[in-house]
A and B are shown apart, each in its own frame.
Chain A
Amino acid sequence: MAKATVTFADIGVTVTVPAGTRIIEISEKVGAGITYGCREGDCGTCIMKVVEGWDNLTEPSVLEGKVLRDNYAGKHHRLACQAQVLGGDIAVKPA
């Protein structure tokens, strides 16, 4: 399976992950500062900033796009509970 890396910039940890991994699957285990509420793409608690590799994540769904807009999320922000790794290198940090 294709490998990718996700760097959590706030704690300086890079994790090698298989493609298809969601950020939520690793960020808590590694102790990064991204926090979660509903865990199902509704509440906007887990908004994170994608510092690098925006195109290496799946596109936001229509619903995720709406939650991001409702929460005034800036450019290059995603929900960590929804964003899925496609491949390559990605760096994220809490918004």
Chain B
Amino acid sequence: MSPKAVEHAIADRRPIEISPRVHWIGALDPDIRTFDVILKTANGTSYNAYVVRGSEGVAIVDTVKEEFADDFFARLEAVATYDEIRAIVINHLEPDHTGALPELMQRAPQARLYISFQAQLMLKALLKRENLEFTPVDTGDRVDLGDRSLEFLHTPYLHWPDTQCTYLREEEILFSGDVFGCHFCDPRLFNDTCGDFRFSFEYYYAHIMRPFREYVLRALALIEPLPLQVIAPAHGPILRDRPTAYVGRYRELAAPRLKREIFPGEKTLLIFYISSYGNTARMAEAIYAAAQEIEGVRASLYDLTGGETNSFADLLEEADGLVLGSPTINGDAVKPIWDLLSSLTVIDMKGKLGAAFGSFGWSGEAVRMIEDRLRGLKLRVPLQGVRLKLIPTPEEIEECRQFGRSLGEELMGRRANRVIDMSELLSSNS
């Protein structure tokens, strides 16, 4: 079909052929500008759903957002009847892909529902129905449609725990769910005929997939060996021209940006501070110098006022430890600290070493607040941070140095085992 014919067919609510046995039956949503609160889109999005026809039955892969169900059913009815449907595959249970599922299950009651095994509890929460019949599937499981078959790839956390991909081996088509997708609405539908969506593709990765980088790498290990003619994602253009280039781009995005100049056995500790009168800065310098004395520690010191939050977040993705120094102003840590911390939700910080410190004038709440936020970001915070009132004395600078040394030893796994009583723990955190 020509791009113009595709546009007309979509406007007429007709299905779009990807191959003689595979059709797109999704919906376009050109007016949406903010998706899931956190994502922007400059020209809307699409909810992609697909029909696969085998010699012994039809499978539906994903559905659409509820308000677009009429489009979905009109396209579906043009290419299959409900009694032919043997399988409904949901690659991801979020409502933009399952809005038409309850109605579809009513219209095709004989169809078996296939979801990832990690989607089971979510399905019950989503449909609010007891006695649901479905088959949980894992990597290697298959659904036989006669001369076509669907194989499942367990690709969790891309970007929910339940996400999976489905592979049509006979045609080398990967129904990838949100992986390789983007919020880009174009009625020409295919990557070789639609407008330039590269920034949408990268933006989607950065906001949706990047927090789960380790899982992206695991999914790529499953996807890269597959021969691919087409990648059919759940949002955005269908990738039929050089689909493996998009797989390769994910590999690049998930890999470190620059090779780190860090040697085996070394670990990196990044110390960020912001200071109103130079007191928190002096603490930072003492912590930095002392941490650097510990063998294997490669410490770096940054004044938060001298850089962009996003660049710092990039550094932190690769770091082993993060230390934040902030004064307390109006009972709170200062905004650049919160800006940096909020930017870290898009990267995987789990298990890294975290710590905080700061000088204050009256009350000094900032340090404990930062520590709580670091724990919320899933860092470990084994050392209680140093809080000093106004100008540090030489003894207090020594306390900062000791803190820096302890952080360095902790980072290198060289701290002796400590034994503490729970009551001590409860009182020290008050």
Are these two chains actual partners, yes or no? Answer: yes
* Residue positions of A touching B, CB distance < 8 A: 5, 7, 10-18, 21, 26, 28-33, 35, 42-44, 67, 70-72, 94
Q: List 8 A-B contacts (CB under 8 A).
A: A5-B419, A11-B382, A17-B422, A26-B425, A32-B382, A43-B161, A71-B118, A94-B351
CA distance A31 to B380 in the complex (A): 5
Task: Write the chain A residue with the least CB distance to B138.
Answer: A72
A18→B419 CA distance, assembly (Å)? 15
Give the shortest distance, in Å, between B365 (CB) and chain A (any CB).
Answer: 18
C-alpha gap A74/B53 in the complex (Å): 38
| A interface footprint on B390-429 (CB within 8 Å = 1, 0 otherwise) | 0000000000000000000010010111111110011001
Residues on A with beta carbons closer than 8 Å to the beta carbon of B422: 15-18, 21, 26
Residue of B nearest to A14 (CB): B419
- B418 neighbours in A (Cβ, 8 Å): 12-14
Instruction: Determine the chain B residues whose CB is within 8 A of the CB of A5 once the complex forms.
Output: 419
* A33 contacts B351, C-beta separation under 8 Å: yes
What is the CB-to-nearest-CB distance from A22 to chain B, in angstroms, rounded to a whole number? 12
Establish whether residues A16 and B117, one from each chain, have CB atoms under 8 Å apart when the complex forms.
no
Taking the closest CB of chain B, its distance from the CB of A49, in whole angstroms, is: 13
* Contact A13-B420, Cβ < 8 Å, known A31-B380, A32-B382: yes
Do residues A28 and B375 form an inter-chain contact, with CB atoms below 8 A?
yes
Contacts known (A26-B425, A30-B382, A35-B350); A14 close to B417, Cβ less than 8 A: yes
6 smallest A-B Cβ distances: which pairs?
A: A31-B382, A35-B378, A33-B380, A31-B381, A11-B382, A12-B417
A62 shortest CB reach to chain B, Å = 14
Give residues 327-359 of B contacting A (CB, 8 Å): 350-351
For B383, the chain A residues whose CB sits under 8 A away are 31
Identify 16 new A-B residue pairs, CB closer than 8 A, beyond the known A18-B422, A26-B425, A72-B117.
A11-B380, A11-B410, A12-B417, A13-B420, A14-B420, A15-B420, A15-B421, A15-B425, A16-B422, A30-B425, A31-B375, A32-B380, A32-B382, A35-B350, A44-B161, A71-B118
Q: How many A-B residue pairs have CB under 8 A?
A: 67
Residues of A within 8 A of B417 (CB): 7, 12-14
Q: How far is the CA of A44 from the CA of B118 in the complex (A)?
A: 10
Chain B, residue nearest A66 (CB): B121
B244 at the interface (CB under 8 A from A): no
Q: Judge whether B229 is part of the interface by a CB distance below 8 angstroms.
A: no
Q: Are A12 and B118 in contact (CB under 8 A)?
A: no
A67 to B122 CA separation, bound complex (whole angstroms)? 12
By a CB distance below 8 angstroms, the chain B residues around A26 are: 422, 425
Question: Complex: how many Å from CA A94 to CA B352?
Answer: 12
Contacts of B118 in A (CB 8 A): 70-71
B309 at the interface (CB under 8 A from A): no
Give the chain A neighbours of B350 by CB distance below 8 A: 33, 35
Chain B nearest CB, measured from A79 CB (Å): 14
User: Scoring B residues 371 to 385 as 1 if CB is less than 8 Å from chain A, else 0, what string do you get?
Assistant: 000010010111100
Within the complex, the shortest CB–CB distance from A87 to chain B, in Å, comes to 14
User: Is B120's beta carbon under 8 Å from chain A?
Assistant: yes
Interface centre among B383, B413, B422, B429 (most CB of A within 10 A): B422
Closest chain A CB from B201 CB (angstroms) = 29
**Complex Cα spacing A17 to B380, Å:** 20
Contact with A along B78-120 (1 / 0, CB 8 A): 0000000000000000000000000000000000000001101
Known: A12-B418, A14-B417. Contact between A29 and B429, CB under 8 A? yes
CB-CB nearest in chain B for A16: B421
Q: Most chain-A Cβ atoms within 10 A of its Cβ — which of B118, B350, B351, B382?
A: B382
* B375 engages A16 (CB within 8 Å): no
Complex Cα distance A18/B117, Å?
38
Which one, B120, B381, B415, B429, contacts A70 given CB within 8 A? Answer: B120
Q: Give the docked Cα–Cα distance between A5 and B75 (Å).
A: 63
Residue of A nearest to B378 (CB): A35
Find B117's partner among A12, A13, A29, A70 (CB 8 Å cutoff).
A70
A87 and B351 CA atoms in complex are apart in Å by 28
**Closest chain B residue, CB of each to CB of A4:** B422
Instruction: Judge whether A16 and B380 touch: CB under 8 Å.
Output: no
A17 to B421, CA, bound (A): 7
CA distance A71 to B351 in the complex (A): 19
What CA separation (Å) do A76 and B350 show in the bound complex?
Answer: 22
Closest A residue to B118 by beta carbon equals: A70
A32 to B117, CA, bound (A): 29
Q: Which residues of B contact A43 (CB under 8 A)?
A: 161
Closest to A30 in B: B425
**Hey, which chain B residues are within 8 Å of A17, CB to CB?**
422
For residue A7, which residues in chain B have a CB less than 8 angstroms away from its CB?
417
